[in-house]
Structure 1
Amino acid sequence: MSGVAIAFLLVALIVVWGGLVASILYLRRRPESSEYPPGGEDDHREDEAPIEHDT
Structure 2
Amino acid sequence: MTPIAIVFLVLAIVLVWGGLIASVLFLRSRPELEQYPAGGDDDHREDDAPIIRDT
Q: TM-score, normalised by structure 1?
A: 0.71
| Paired-residue identity, % | 47
- The size of the alignment, in residue pairs, is 51
Superposed CA RMSD in Å reads: 2.4
Q: Does 1:30 align with 2:13?
A: no
- Map 1:6-45 onto structure 2 (within 5 A): 6-39=6-39, 40=41, 42=43
Computing the radius of gyration over CA atoms, which structure comes out larger, 1 or 2?
Answer: 1
- Structure 2: gaps spanning 5 or more residues: none
- Decide whether aligned partners of structure 1 residues 53 and 22 sit closer, same or farther in structure 2, where only a CA change above 3 A counts: closer
Residue 45 of structure 1 corresponds to none
Residue 46 of structure 1 corresponds to none
Q: TM-score, normalised by structure 2?
A: 0.71
- Structure 1: gaps spanning 5 or more residues: 43-48
